[in-house]
Amino acid sequence: MKIVHAFCTFDKRQLLLTFSAALLILALSTNFLYTANLYAISLPEKIGRLNDYGNVLTMEDQRELEDKIDQLSTRKIGLTVLISRRDPYSNPNIYASEIQTKWNLRTQTSESFAVFVQERNEWAIRLFLRPAVTNLFPSSEITKFQTTLQKKVENNEIRSAVTYLVSGIHRQAFPPPTEKKKPREKGSGGFILYLAIGIGGGLIIIVTLLWWEGRRRCPRCGSRLEKTRNFDQVTGRKTEKNCPECGYHERV
């Protein structure tokens, strides 16, 4: 009877206040822990398609790469790049996955995504290429492209790696024009060669004839010289040239 009497006389208002205070403390603790957790794993905001939070690119690099990314978008080829020196998860796979969710990249089927993140003293890359990009490369070239990119990251050449990534995709989408060689007209080269040989040969013959004819003329009056051949017992056989007009005499 005493127990029943004590229960009946218990202050129900005090019980209700105690229960309400406990709920309030629990709610405040949960909110505090949630806020602290959000602060600890705060993720970078998307400021564009090229997000250099690691400050590895120069202003000129950013302008050039952003221009190439904009040109890719005209071909419906999306590319988003993040460069970060902080990974709150200490796991590049989780970090890349959380960024994809925060930036709403999973539902964009044409948007490729690349994360360059520093893990302590080393860098890591996580690359998510959509078919809009992979279809640009021949099957053998895409593997080589990714391998080269990975080596640059392993060597901490992040600026070079980012440039190689964007420029490589841009080069495949917009290949440089090749100069077409004009077909050589058949017969034109041979004709010019034969013509040059003919003219040169003719000039040589004319000069030779003039030289030969000049030797047969008298140097005094220009008349044709007469040749006579004599045998000298001392000097041997000699040829004499005589001019019938002026009497010029020459022995050869």
Tokens 């000039």: give the residue.
203
Flag the least confident range among 43-52, 205-214, 224-233: 224-233
Residue type, 206: I
- Helices and strands (H, E) in the chain, number of each type: 8, 7
Q: Please give the order of strands across the beta sheet that includes 236-242.
A: 226-232, 236-242, 249-251
Report the Cα 133 to chain-centroid distance in Å: 16
| Domain covering 50-173: architecture | Roll (3.10)
| Identity of the amino acid at 86 | R
pLDDT at 205: 85
Dihedrals phi, psi of 119, to nearest 5 degrees:
-115, 100
Task: Write the pLDDT tens digit of every residue in 127-183.
Answer: 999 999 999 999 889 999 999 999 999 999 999 999 999 999 999 999 988 766 665
**Higher-pLDDT residue of 213, 59:** 59
- Percent of the chain clearing pLDDT 70 (strictly above): 65
- The residue ranking higher by pLDDT, 154 or 195, is 154
What number is the average pLDDT over the span 181-210?
A: 71
- What pLDDT sits at residue 39? 46
* pLDDT at position 18 over 60: yes
Q: Structural domain boundaries of the chain? A: 50-173, 216-252
What pTM does this model have?
A: 0.58
Q: How confident is the model at residue 192 (pLDDT cuts 50, 70, 90)?
A: confident
Residue 203, pLDDT score = 80
Mean pLDDT of 9-28: 64
Percentage of residues of the chain with pLDDT beyond 90: 52
pLDDT of residue 21 exceeding 90, the answer is no
114: left (phi over 0), alpha (psi -120 to 50) or beta: beta
Digit-coded pLDDT (tens) for 32-89 = 444 444 445 799 999 999 999 999 999 999 999 999 999 999 999 999 999 999 999 9
pLDDT given at position 146: 97
Rank 152-156, 183-187, 188-192, 239-243 by mean pLDDT and report only the highest: 152-156
Length of the chain in terms of residues written: 252
